[in-house]
Amino acid sequence: MSHVMAIPELLASTATDLERIGSRLSAVNATAVGPTTVLVSAGSDEVSAAVASLFSRHAQEYQAWSARVSTFHAHFVQTLTTGAGMYHAAEAANVSPLQQTLDVVNAPTQLLLGRPLIGNGANGGPGQNGGNGGLLYGDGGNGGSSTTPGQPGGNGGAAGLVGNGGAGGAGGAGANGGAGGNGGLFYGNGGAGGAGGAASIVGGNGGNGGAGGNAGLWGDGGAGGAGAAGATGADAVNPGYHQVQRAPIGDPGHNNTNGNGGNAGDGDNGVNPGIGGGDGGPGGDGTANGAVSGGAAGAGGAGGTFASGGDGGVGGAATNNGAGDTRGGAGGAGGAGGAGGAGGDGGTGGDATTTTGIGTVFGGAGGTGGAGGVGAPGGTGGNGGAATQAGGLAYGGDGGDGGPGGVGASAAAGGAGGFGGAGGRGGLLFGTGGAGAVGGVGGNGGIGANGSYGGDGGDGGAAGGTGGPLNTGLAGNGGDGGDGGAGGAGGAGGNGGAAGAAGLFGQSGSPGAGAAGGLGGSGGVGGTGGAGGIGLNLGNPGTPGSQGATGANGQHGLDG
């Protein structure tokens, strides 16, 4: 028994094309009527007249037959158009009864198992799974691609006995792709896995590709979805300065009118963020009719995060109204700054004075500057105390060294690339395994921040008086510049997806290639060294900071 399949759309399209062809032929024939049916004799003789008459009759007969063919052509086109319309009407009339019949057939399995007996599964909405195909016949619906960052793509629906699995949907930004649906148990191909979503945040990881669906007895496994690339790591930014208050100052040293001055207490540390270190207390003054010393000043406290260190206190003055050595108190060291905070300045050394007697006079040494916090400058070294004598030797105090600049902040690592999805297994009897997908490329590391500059060295103390040699104090050295921050490491490349296994008669799929790892970020520029102080000598300038280390390159992904 033979069968005829009619497609109304193709019939209607063919009728339109034939009508267009007929119109063009009629136009050409009408153009040829005049030149071919009425021919003028080439001469007045009988032969010429007979030839012209012959061709004219031939042209008239052609026009007659053309008219008949045109009428037949129009009738044929009309019949074809009418037939297409009848087929359209028949289809429209049969849709409702056939659909009602199919609904009755599918109702029991839809109610009991949640899927039809015959029919394709519905495609999933954004990020939703595709519906399963009919138990007997039907393809699984495609999983919906996600448009929301972090939301995975929907899984493809599975087929029943005969049908293809639905494709997995692509993942949202940084999310995994959906897995492909399995093909029919008897016959059908597995669906392809969805691609992973590319990272949308700085330094984020790329999403993994979805695995391809497996075939049943006969069919090819679905290809895995591609892994997405990781994002570039954030460039380092040095912390800002946000100090709101200071910790308490250190206790001052006691003044002594008949002996050495007392030593001062250190400033308190700034424990909480935004609290600067307290300044060191000043050393106590000492006065005597013989050898005497000023009290040592207290050191500045360390600053909390985003705050500077406290300044060192001023050394106590020493006054000798008799004979013997006289020493000014040392200035306190500056406190280290917290992250983003500058180091505290070193305190000035105490002055030393001899009024009458003979003795050696030493100005107090200036305190060293505090180290700068991350990305912040070092503190300035304190100046040396002055030395004044009435008889003997006078040595101005040495200037304090500047504090080193803070290192630059380190950059963040790049995001890892997503893994490629594995290919689905081919049919148990016949079928080729699905191809594994490529992994995503790792993100590059960020750039390290610049180091800050070192503090200047303090000046040597002056020496004065009339009784003997005068020696200005040695100048302090400048603080070293801070090293640049290290660059971020490159993100690891994603591994390629494994190849799908072959059936009993078939070939395995090709494995996915691993992706390249991201490049390491460059380190920040080192800070400049501080200037040396002025004194008996010129202090040495600080050494510039070194370029920050380049981040390590990310590891390449492994092949599937």
pLDDT at 1: 40
Question: What gap in Å lies between CA 350 and CA 361, rounded to an integer?
Answer: 12
pLDDT (0 to 100) of residue 90 = 64
Tokens found for residue 387? 């030395």
Name the token pair of 282: 């000043």
Q: What pLDDT, on the 0 to 100 scale, is given for residue 396?
A: 84
Please state, in angstroms and rounded to a whole number, the distance separating the CA atoms of residues 213 and 421: 10
Closest CA to 494 of 464, 480, 515: 515
- The span from the CA of 142 to the CA of 157, in Å, is 6
One-letter identity of residue 316: G
Query: Are 479 and 530 spatial neighbours (Cβ–Cβ below 8 Å)?
Result: yes
Residue 353 lies in a domain: no
- Is there a domain that residue 234 lies in? no
* 464 found inside a domain: yes
Phi then psi for residue 390, to 5 deg, are -105, -15
145 backbone φψ class: left, alpha, beta (φ>0; ψ -120 to 50): beta
Q: Which residues pair with 352 in a beta bridge?
A: 318, 387
Number of domains in the chain: 1
Q: Is residue 547 part of a domain?
A: yes
Longest dimension (CA), the chain: 165
Q: Token digits for 98?
A: 């056939």
CA 387/CA 384 separation, integer angstroms: 9
Residue 528 lies in a domain: yes
Residue 54 belongs to some domain of the structure? no
Residues 184-202, buried b or exposed e (16+ Cβ, 10 A)?
bbbbbbbbbbbbbbbbeee
Specify whether the CB–CB gap between 184 and 159 falls below 8 A. yes
Q: Cβ of 130: how many Cβ atoms within 10 Å?
A: 31
Q: What is the 3-state secondary structure (H, E, C) of 192-216?
A: CCCCCCCCCCCCCCCCCCCCCCCCC
Do 332 and 366 form a contact (C-beta atoms < 8 A)?
A: no
| Residue 469, token pair as written in the block | 């040699």
- Answer for the pair 315, 295: CB distance below 8 angstroms, yes or no: yes
Give the domain range for residue 487.
Answer: 444-492+508-554
- Whether 422 and 225 have beta carbons less than 8 Å apart is answered as no
Angle at 159 between CA 157 and CA 162, to 5 degrees: 165
**Residue 119 backbone phi and psi in degrees, to 5:** 135, 160
16 part of a folded domain: no
Helix axes 8-37, 46-113, angle to 10 degrees: 170
CA distance 50 to 57: 11
Per-residue tokens: 384: 């040396």
Cα 264 from Cα 425, distance rounded (Å): 80
Distance CA(219)–CA(505), nearest Å, equals 11
- Residue 81: per-residue pLDDT: 75
pTM: 0.69
Quick one: pLDDT at residue 234?
A: 86
CA distances for 102 relative to 87, 107, 109, 117, 159, angstroms: 21, 8, 12, 9, 18
Q: What is the pLDDT along the chain (560 residues), one digit of tens a residue?
A: 455 666 767 767 776 777 787 777 777 766 766 666 565 666 667 666 676 667 667 766 766 777 777 787 777 777 777 766 776 766 666 555 666 777 766 777 677 777 777 888 889 999 999 999 888 888 999 999 999 999 999 999 999 889 999 999 999 999 999 999 999 999 999 999 999 999 988 889 999 999 999 998 899 999 999 999 999 888 888 888 888 899 899 899 899 888 787 787 887 888 889 999 999 999 999 999 989 999 999 999 999 999 999 999 999 999 999 888 999 999 999 999 999 999 999 999 999 999 887 888 899 999 999 999 998 999 999 998 988 888 778 888 888 888 898 888 888 889 899 999 999 998 888 888 888 889 988 888 888 888 888 888 888 878 776 655 656 656 557 667 668 778 778 888 889 888 888 878 878 888 888 888 888 888 888 878 878 777 666 657 767 777 778 878 878 888 86
DSSP at 491: P
